[in-house]
Amino acid sequence: MGNVSVLCFAASYTVALVLEIAGLWVRFGWHRLAMVVMAVAGLVAHSAYLVYHSVGSVAFLRTPELWYLVVAWVLAAFYLWVVFTSPKTAMGLFVLPLVLITIALAETASTEPFAQQRASQFWGALHGSLMTLSTVTVSVGFIAGLMYLIQSWRLKHKVPPSPEFQLPSLEWLERTNSRALSFSVVLVCGGFISGIVLSRLQHSGDSSYQLFGDPVVISLLLMLVWLIVAEVFRMIYPSARRGRKVAYLTLASFGFLALTLITFTMNDVHGRPREASAAQSQDPSAHFAPPSVASSESAADELHLVGRHKAEVLS
Amino acid sequence: MNLRMVGCSHHQSNIAFRERLAFTPDQAANALSAWQQSHPGVEAVLLSTCNRTEFYAAAAGHSDAFTDNSLAEYLAGWHSIPLDEITQQLVSLDGQAVVEHLFRVAASLDSMVVGEPQILAQVKQAYELACELGSAGPHMHGCFQAALRVARRVTSETSLHRHRVSIPSVAIADFASRIFERFDDKRVLVIGAGEMADETLRYLRDAGAKRFTILNRDPGRAQALAAQWQAEAASWGDLHRQLVRADLVISTTAAGHPIVTLEYYRKQIADERNQRPLFILDLAMPRDFEPAIGEELGTYLYSIDDLAAACEQNRKSRQRELPRAERIIGEETSRFLTDARMQVSSPLITQLRAEWDVVKQAELARLLNKLGDLDQKSQEEITRFADRLVNKLLHPPLQSLRDEAENDSHTSLLDALRRLFQLRE
């Protein structure tokens, strides 16, 4: 399992996506089989990679990289479920690009652990899991919304169905859209609250720490507010429960998710103590080390420098 | 095998003629039972649909028990029609042509709407009825089972059946089913009572729809159609309420102007529907719904012209698939006939082998007796020599027989073999 790299499953998913795209024009007898085999191979390699890199770790979702890879895994599993339950649907054209983007984000994300003390393991795991699931539900809602708009456009323009590009019915997409939005509200809300609890446990007594100084927290709060507003809007305005409006709401939700993920990816210091973050930002060599180790190494470096300075003075 | 078919179809006969020769399921059962009694040993299957009535009969060997004329007489007699009145429009086929025709019928290549799926079920029902009554024997089993297999092969190996070409079928299968996941919980409103509405209702019922409301200016006609479809009838004054609560609307009135204008729809209907999806199939000419209504949110409006384009596209797609389907029919017909001929020749081959074996055994006994005391090994060697000799001598004629099984001249070769080796049936 140690030999499995990100490239292995990313390549499998890429081949599956290429086959999906090629299927729009030409299909061979083995086309679907090859697509399924590639996707299954990708998911198996993906699972092996996650298992190998999680064995013996304190927390399953312990680094931003792994967190992204778990999101990609759930989306890939969702794709395979659709492939087996609705084989004629062109779901891969929508889900696989998202899987590959998430893997690409994982590659750019930090491999350093989130700050986690043993006392907050439960809240850390809960926070990570809820954020993973909410990312998946918002993404599924986004895919369903996009498919709804395409299907609706095709129906309005009287485009006959094509065996190469079949989409689910508007009714199914609308239902999936609505449910994804509702689940997202609950999951993001849970993720945000568990994040606050986690932060309180980690930074109790630390007067210098400011929760809302973290850009990831601010963007997540914005997404939560948007989701609550969208859900309330849907509840009080009947037209917003239907068709294109709910599709637009889920597309906008994905916009907020993208904003949150960008700040999350750009910001290595999410959830860490301020001093560790400050030390990392000052010392690039310590940037990719675990916080506790980074802090001790920074201190050691300081001692070493002081020692060397002293030696120079003496000489 | 003597195989014949006499009948009529939409290719040669108009609907009035086909109606005269049509059989209800009960009539078909009675006709087959009567045929069995009057023609023992002659197998029969009767296929009667709205587009064709075809009487298939088969017997072993060259039976004179039935001819094209006797089959035609039977059909005419059953309906009490003078034979002279129908002979001109009847088609008769025999042998290979019957097999090929049956395969084309079952695969829906001979249908009015090529690729329509109902014919396969109708062929199957006709065959099952003959099986139940015992009028189908080994020949009919072979033919009809092969026909059902060929039809399934055409369905799976071509996309002929995927392309629908009738307006209602395209409307429901290609458009409405892309809007709605299921139809059993949807309300269907039918405005007017035209033939197209009737056909569309049939497709909707097949798709699972259950809740129908018929609305017509003439309440009597609305109630009559409602009774036929186990639906509700509604008065014309109820149009507004019905449009608000409907999920699918099929409109076929003969009104000279639109009965639902854009202004009326926007002000009276759209607000109350809260953008709930509405599928409107406007089959009227001139149209019942103003085309701009289709631009409204959640409203999917289709007229005959909109769907005709899809139908035409489907028709072209089918045309592209036809050569593949015809090739399958050709291959399967050839395979079926080869198998059938091999079955006919197998008793002759067995008989030929048996007779040569008798001669071989007699000659072996004579030779071994003449040679006197031979050890076991020598006796076995001589026996093996005799076996090899017989097999080698028989190989060329049997190979020729197998080769000829693919051609029509197979029967004459069988006759020649019988005469050459003096084989008696």
Domain parsing of chain B, residue ranges: 2-163, 167-305, 346-420
B174/A160 Cβ within 8 A: yes
Partner-chain residue, chosen from A154, A158, A242, that has the shortest CB–CB distance to B298: A242
Pairing state between β B91-94 and B43-48: unpaired
Lowest-pLDDT choice from A210-224, B58-72, B211-225: B58-72
Q: Binning pLDDT at 50, 70 and 90, where does residue B7 land?
A: very high
Whole-number pLDDT of residue B88 = 85
Q: For residues A131 and A133, what is the distance between their CA atoms, to the nearest angstrom?
A: 6
pLDDT tens for each residue of B255-268: 878 999 999 999 98
In terms of average pLDDT, the best of A211-220, A228-237, A282-291, B256-265 is: B256-265
Residue numbers in B near A238 (CB within 8 A): 274
Assigned domain for A24 exists: yes
Report residue B64's pLDDT band, with 50, 70 and 90 as the boundaries. Answer: low
- Report the percent of chain A where pLDDT is more than 70: 77
Does residue A42 lie within any of the structural domains?
A: yes
The mean pLDDT of B90-105, rounded to a whole number, is 92
Q: Check whether B177 has a pLDDT greater than 60.
A: yes
Of A59-63, A109-113, B8-12, B384-388, give the lowest mean pLDDT range: A59-63
Output the 3-class SS for chain B.
CEEEEEEEECCCCCHHHHHHHCCCHHHHHHHHHHHHHHCCCCEEEEEECCCEEEEEEEECCCCCCCCHHHHHHHHHHHCCCCHHHHHCCCEEEECHHHHHHHHHHHCCCCCCCCCCCHHHHHHHHHHHHHHHHCCCCHHHHHHHHHHHHHHHHHHHHCCHHHCCCCHHHHHHHHHHHHHCCCCCCCEEEEECCCHHHHHHHHHHHHHCCCEEEEECCCHHHHHHHHHHHCCEEECHHHHHHHHHHCCEEEECCCCCCCCECHHHHHHHHHHHHCCCCEEEEECCCCCCECHHHHHCCCEEEEEHHHHHHHHHHHHHHHHHHHHHHHHHHHHHHHHHHHHHHHHHHHHHHHHHHHHHHHHHHHHHHHHHHHHCCCCHHHHHHHHHHHHHHHHHHHHHHHHHHHHHCCCCCHHHHHHHHHHHCCCCC
pLDDT of residue B300: 94
A155 in reach of chain B (CB within 8 A): yes
A309 confidence band (pLDDT: 50, 70, 90): very low
Cβ-based contacts of B307 with chain A (< 8 Å): 158
Closest in B180, B307, B309 to A169, CB measured: B180
Q: Is B54 assigned to a binding site?
A: no
Q: Provide, as residue numbers in chain B, all residues whose Cβ is less than 8 Å from the Cβ of A175.
A: 181
Please give the pLDDT value at position B261.
94
- Chain B interface, best mutation among A178, A239, A246, by max B CB count within 10 A: A239
To the nearest whole number, what is the mean pLDDT of chain B?
87
Do B167-305 and B2-163 have the same topology in CATH? no
Q: What is the pLDDT of residue A118?
A: 52
Could you give the number of structural domains in chain A?
A: 1
Give pairs for B347-353: CB < 8 Å, separation 24+: B347/B425, B348/B401, B348/B414, B348/B417, B348/B418, B348/B423, B349/B398, B349/B401, B351/B423, B352/B394, B352/B397, B352/B417, B352/B421, B352/B423, B353/B394
A27 within domain boundaries: yes
For residue B259, the model assigns a pLDDT of 92
pLDDT for residue B186: 94
Look up tokens 């399921």; give the residue: B25
* pLDDT recorded at residue B133: 92
Per-residue pLDDT, A301? 40
- Statement: residue B393 has pLDDT above 80: yes
B196 annotated binding-site participant: yes
Span A2-31, mean pLDDT?
87
Average pLDDT over residues A53-80: 80
Please identify which residue in the block is written with the tokens 């068709």. A243
Q: Considering only alpha carbons, which residue of chain B is nearest residue A237? A: B274
Instruction: Count CB-CB contacts under 10 A for residue B230.
Output: 9
Of A155, A156, A169, the CB nearest to B181: A169
Pairing verdict, β B278-282 and B211-215? unpaired
Determine the structural domain holding residue A57 and report its residue range: 6-272
In the predicted model, what is the mean pLDDT of residues B215-222? Answer: 87
- What's the pLDDT at A308? 40
Which has more confidence, B249 or B39?
B249
The confidence score (pLDDT) of residue B375 equals: 87
Assess if CATH 3.40.50.720 describes domain B167-305. Answer: yes
Any idea which of A93-107, A265-279, B263-277 has the lowest mean pLDDT? A265-279
Selected residues 236-265 of chain A with any CB under 8 Å from a CB in chain B: 238-239, 241-245
pLDDT for the residue numbered A289? 33
Chain A with chain B: Cβ pairs closer than 8 A: 60
**Contact (CB<8Å) B298/A243:** yes
Question: Is A302 inside any structural domain?
Answer: no
Could you give the ipTM of this predicted complex?
Answer: 0.70
The alpha carbon of residue B201 is apart from the nearest alpha carbon of chain A, in Å, by 21
**What mean pLDDT comes out for the span A99-122?**
76
Q: Answer whether B310 sits within 8 Å of A156, measured CB to CB.
A: no
Query: In terms of pLDDT, which residue wins out, B180 or A311?
Result: B180
* Catalytic residue check, B131: no
**Is residue A211 over pLDDT 80?**
no
Binary contact (B310, A155; C-beta < 8 A):
no
pLDDT of residue A270: 63
Which member of A161, A238, A245 has the closest CB to residue B174? A161
At residue A241, the pLDDT reads 66
- A291 domain residue, yes or no: no
Residue with the bigger pLDDT between B346 and A240: it is: B346
Interval A123-134: pLDDT, tens: 778 888 888 898
Which is more confidently placed, B345 or B395? Answer: B395
Enumerate chain B positions whose Cβ falls within 8 A of a Cβ in A: 159, 162, 170, 174-175, 177-182, 274-277, 294-295, 297-298, 300, 302, 306-307, 309-310, 313-314
Confidence at residue B321, expressed as pLDDT on a 0 to 100 scale: 86
Q: Which amino acid is at B366?
A: R
Does some domain include residue A196? yes
Does any domain span residue A213? Answer: yes
Q: Is B277 within 8 Å of A243 when comparing Cβ atoms?
A: yes
Q: Check pLDDT > 80 for residue A142.
A: yes
> What residues in B contact A179, CB-CB < 8 Å?
none
Facing A158 at nearest CB: one of B180, B276, B306: B306
Residue of B8, B50, B143, B311 marked active site: B50
Chosen for mutation from A155, A172, A245 (greatest number of chain B CBs closer than 10 Å) is: A155
- In percent, the amount of chain B with pLDDT more than 70 equals 97
Question: Would A185 be classed as within a structural domain?
Answer: yes
Q: Which CATH superfamily is domain B2-163 in?
A: Glutamyl-tRNA reductase, N-terminal domain (3.30.460.30)
Contact A171 B275 (CB under 8 A): no
Model confidence at A299, pLDDT cuts 50, 70, 90, reads: very low
Indicate the pLDDT class of residue B99, thresholds 50, 70 and 90: very high
